Amino acid sequence: MNNKFTAGIGGDIMGKVRIFTNSSSDIAPKWAEEEGIILIPDMVLFGPEEQYRNNIDIDPPAMYKRLETAQTLPTTSHPNIAQYMEAFSTVEEEVLCICITSRMSGAYNTACTAAKLLMEQGRPNPITVVDSLQVSYGMALLVVEAARMAAAGADTAQICQMLEEKKQRVGVYFAMESLQNARKGGRIGAIRVLAADMLNVKPLLMFRDGLVRDYGVVRGFHTAVDRVIQRCCDCAVPGGEIYVFHADREELAEYVKSRLLAHDPTVRVRIGWVGTAIGIYTGAGCVGMACFEK
């Protein structure tokens, strides 16, 4: 399936490609700056009166602190058409916007509409919008790869070809200490959560085809983490890049990194916080890995 929209095909293509993405990619602002990526912030809403721009007004540590006492979970909102149009208008170069999975968010369709409107207003260079079919660090893998290709001089067609090929090879695996936030967010039933907590059963989770899926269950969180590490070691491209992500569990993330390096000393490991798109539903106590698979 070709999840891509291009507005302005046939126009003059000048200069390099600029890569845009949602803040739900969990690429921190400093990291984005290093890679030449432009982030469009999603909104985090703690009720109608408290609205924060993701990673600008609120960051993951502050969010998890708020979640400790929240009776109901906050919600998120992707950028609206005007915000996408404003963001795309900050550059004159060709735009390639890589969006969070359309199976969880309306961001892709909204960005497509914004691109179409800008081209109708006479923008000279095309805007291409791609559905990553990913979120968080699985999305970050694709976005960073695209940014590095753009920096090396690749054009949009070449980058989009890479994205279509590598979408199918993104592996995201994670485990959670508790299912309570998933229950609060309506992602899982209360009875199932109660039974799982009583039996200390932990699902092994993956992100595939645009959605979160489970691929097994084990007893105990540490066993779950070990299984996730093993899955990543088995699947990851040797000598490649692995993103270890955590929800307020930095020490555990460092342990995961050491295990990955013990398995493959040539692998490059980056540790980062789980942001709002997933973190609202995992709560504190989640750890996982994202990598390109063999």
Domain CATH for 136? 3.40.50.10440
Q: Are residues 209 and 102 in the same domain?
A: no
Q: What is the pLDDT of residue 194?
A: 45
Summarised one tens digit per residue, pLDDT across range 174-219 is 999 987 766 555 555 444 544 456 568 898 999 998 988 889 889 9
Q: Per the domain annotation, does 66 fall within a domain?
A: no
**Residue 271 resides in a domain:** yes
- The answer to whether residues 161 and 181 belong to one domain is no
Claim to verify: residue 162 and residue 176 sit in the same structural domain: no
Q: Examine the domain organization and report whether 118 and 182 are in the same domain.
A: no
**Which residues sit opposite 126 in a β-bridge?**
none
Last residue of a domain, one of 113, 140, 167: 167
- Given a contact cutoff of 8 angstroms between Cβ atoms, the answer to whether 238 and 267 are in contact is yes
CB 222 within 8 A of CB 211: no
**Section 138-160 average pLDDT:** 97
Residue 251 lies in a domain: yes
Same domain, 207 and 250: yes
CB atoms within 10 A of CB 257: 17
The whole-number pLDDT of residue 198 equals: 57
Q: Is residue 70 part of a domain?
A: no
Say whether both 193 and 179 belong to one domain. Answer: yes
CB-CB neighbours of 214 under 10 Å:
9
How does pLDDT run across 222-275, given as a tens digit for each residue? 999 999 999 999 999 999 999 999 999 999 999 999 999 999 999 999 999 999
In the chain, pLDDT over 90 holds for what percent of residues?
73
Residues 226, 196, single domain; the answer is yes
SS3 label, residue 199: helix
21 and 150 share one domain: yes
pLDDT at position 164 over 90:
yes
Residue span of the structural domain in which 211 resides: 170-292
Among 55-59, 104-108, 199-203, 285-289, where is mean pLDDT lowest? 199-203
Are residues 94 and 162 both part of a single domain?
Answer: yes
Report yes or no on 109 lying in a domain: yes
Are residues 204 and 257 both part of a single domain? yes
Could you tell me if residue 208 is inside a domain? yes
Same domain (yes/no): 184, 142: no
DSSP 43: E
**Domain contains 223:** yes
Residue 48 domain-assigned? no
Q: Which of 167, 190, 212 is the last residue in one of the domains? A: 167
Give the full edge-to-edge strand order of the sheet including 201-208: 211-219, 201-208, 170-176, 286-292, 241-246, 268-273
User: Among the listed ranges 1-5, 19-23, 164-168, which one has the minimum average pLDDT value?
Assistant: 1-5
Looking at the structure of the chain, the number of domains it has is 2
- Of 167, 185, 208, which residue sits at a domain end? 167
134 & 224 share domain: no
